[in-house]
Amino acid sequence: MLKNDVGSIADDPKSMSKEELDKALEKVPKRPVMLIADDVEMNRVLLSQFFQDKYDILEASDGREAIALIEENDVNILIVDLVMPVMDGYEVLKVLRRRSIDIPVIVMTARNDGESEARAMEMGAADFITKPYNPTVVQCRVRNVMARVENEWQKLEQVAKDQQIVEMHATIERDALTGLYNREAFYQRTADMIRDHSDIKFCIIYLDISCFKAINDLFRVETGNLILRTSAYYFLATIDLETSLAARIEADHFVICMPEEQLNIERLIEGLDNTILSLGISHNILFYAGVYPVEETALPVDQMCDRAHMALNKIKGNYMNRYAYYDASMRDQMLQEQMIVRDMNFALQEHQFTIFLQPVYSLVSNHIVSAEALVRWFHPVNGMISPGKFIPVFERNGFIVKLDRFVWEEVCKFLKRQRESGQKLIPVSVNVSRMNFYNLDLLEFLLNLIERYELEPWMLKLEITESAYTDNPHQLTSVIKVFREEGFPVLMDDFGSGYSSLNMLKNLPVDVLKIDMAFVRELEKSARARSILKSIMHLAFDLDMGVVVEGVETKAQVDFLASIGADDIQGYYFSKPLPVPDFIEKLRKDWDDSPENLESKAE
């Protein structure tokens, strides 16, 4: 097929490949070319004048010259005289047919030469014009002939535009890194698929990688990207693309929609493990998954994904369970969390939060030596909400920073009242959640509190958790040093609950360890727990650190702790957390009975 063959190329443009379509489009002229072949120059001049506004004009004085011009140029229409020297119009038609050159040809004949016209039409001519020329008739016949060709060009251009739209839409729908669908495309396509396959029960699988940020920190971003791309390849190779979809929602979060009968979640995770393991990365890379079987098909897809994500959060970080299925209790939890988030700011403004104080007793003196401030939420409709329900939510959304500062100030108010009333003044420890360490004004805020309420730093003990150290050890270490330089005692709360306790103890300059209550629960039935706790006590003494043991509930626990040298004890055995008025009364009685106070009264 020669380059002039536009018509046959465009017969079925929708069936063309992109390469074929691009080649065909190259033949569509921005301004079409007309070749006029006539041995009479005046005829060529007249015809040129008729069409020069719309066409680029080429001229030939005989058939041979016309064929040469056609082979050298992209000619779109040929007007040829049937009677010419060297090679006439009939011979031109024969050559075009023999060489499969598909150009619309209009022949020029003498008036009333019907036999010549018929012969030319049989040989492939598209139409004819007669001499002398009628401009209107000539232009009309050329326009009619070219309309068929231009229609083919328009088909090509429309198909090309349609392909561009499809390609652009596909680009918009795809995640640039992995090639999977992005969030919005997944939501829309999943909704369509579930609607169009009402006979299939689908499920949503939400997956992400444990500690993916650490992978990027330990290695390189390129390594993280390799893991993500490899995971995407595995998903595409595993699922049935006819009835399943996979997407990268964000970061290391993936989501799949597939027929429930095709899902073997254990095999899916095992195959993913093996695929990632084949990369040879020296780090334990674990995927966790939450599964939501789609029961409510009318539910928005984003809410389906939220439910699968809820199931994932239930087991994320648990090395024993790598997947979980959504159940109704998770929905109840979600609704409760939504209520908590909805009401939290108003609750703070309306003083629905209040502090309770739990005393810390000395086994040596058998008196209260300090206390811990704990927050409680008394909701006007739902009653008292457990801290175990709202604290994790606030730690995730950052509201814990506001709540912590509220608690610190309430404690400072309590301490000032105690001092002004001449009552027993003991230090109170407050929790400093890890989110606080991202605020540059943390120390300034604490110092301002101490100054405003005319207190001294030793009266406010700061409790941090091991998880805060794990998040950012260098920053936390430097902040704690500054706290201690300013006179604030620093306690490490829940010591022994994490995986890096000893390493943290080596690096972190804290004053007091608060032993995790999980150790205390095991004391009466586990010799190993008793041995570990005894070693921790000796270690703390060697490092010149104080120790507070929390969660003590039985006399047997108290007796053992006394035997290993523990002194400061916190727990229900002595007292539960108390409202401030009750604590003040308890502290007053404890102070009245103390040898120190009795001596002062005797004097």
pLDDT of residue 170: 53
Looking at the domain assignment, is residue 178 inside a domain? Answer: no
pLDDT band per the 50, 70, 90 thresholds, residue 131 = confident
Question: Do 270 and 121 fall within a single domain?
Answer: no
Question: Do 196 and 163 fall within a single domain?
Answer: no
Looking at the domain assignment, is residue 266 inside a domain? Answer: yes
pLDDT band per the 50, 70, 90 thresholds, residue 23 = low
Average pLDDT, the chain: 86
Which residue, of 266, 298, 326, is where some domain finishes?
326
pLDDT of residue 376: 96
Tell me what the mean pLDDT of segment 46-61 comes to: 90
Q: Which residues contact 115 (CB under 8 A, 6 or more apart)?
A: none
Which residue, of 170, 202, 230, is where some domain finishes?
170
pLDDT at 76 over 80: yes
Question: Do 528 and 417 fall within a single domain?
Answer: yes
pLDDT band per the 50, 70, 90 thresholds, residue 162 = low
Question: Do 38 and 119 fall within a single domain?
Answer: yes
Give residue for tokens 């540059």. Answer: 440
CA–CA gap between residue 151 and residue 342 (Å, rounded): 62
- H/E stretch holding 189 reads helix 183-196
pLDDT band per the 50, 70, 90 thresholds, residue 251 = confident
pTM of the model: 0.58
pLDDT tens for each residue of 523-567 = 888 888 889 889 888 988 888 899 999 999 999 999 999 999 999
Q: Which residues contact 357 (CB under 8 A, 6 or more apart)?
A: 371, 372, 373, 374, 414, 428, 577, 578, 580, 583
pLDDT at 165 over 50: no
CA–CA gap between residue 307 and residue 321 (Å, rounded): 18
Question: Do 430 and 578 fall within a single domain?
Answer: yes
Percent of the chain with pLDDT over 90: 50
Question: Do 85 and 232 fall within a single domain?
Answer: no
Question: Do 107 and 249 fall within a single domain?
Answer: no
Number of domains in the chain: 3
pLDDT of residue 237: 92
Question: Do 161 and 247 fall within a single domain?
Answer: no
CA–CA gap between residue 58 and residue 35 (Å, rounded): 5
Question: Do 310 and 401 fall within a single domain?
Answer: no
pLDDT tens for each residue of 424-436 = 899 999 999 988 8
Question: Do 522 and 570 fall within a single domain?
Answer: yes
Cβ atoms of 224 and 218 within 8 Å: the answer is no
302 lies in which domain range? 183-326
pLDDT of residue 364: 92
pLDDT of residue 497: 64
Burial of 286 (0-12, 13-18, 19+ CB in 10 A): middle
Q: Which residues contact 284 (CB under 8 A, 6 or more apart)?
A: none
Question: Do 210 and 345 fall within a single domain?
Answer: no
Which residue, of 326, 343, 364, is where some domain finishes?
326
pLDDT of residue 10: 45
Looking at the domain assignment, is residue 242 inside a domain? Answer: yes
What would the two tokens of residue 545 be? 């650190």
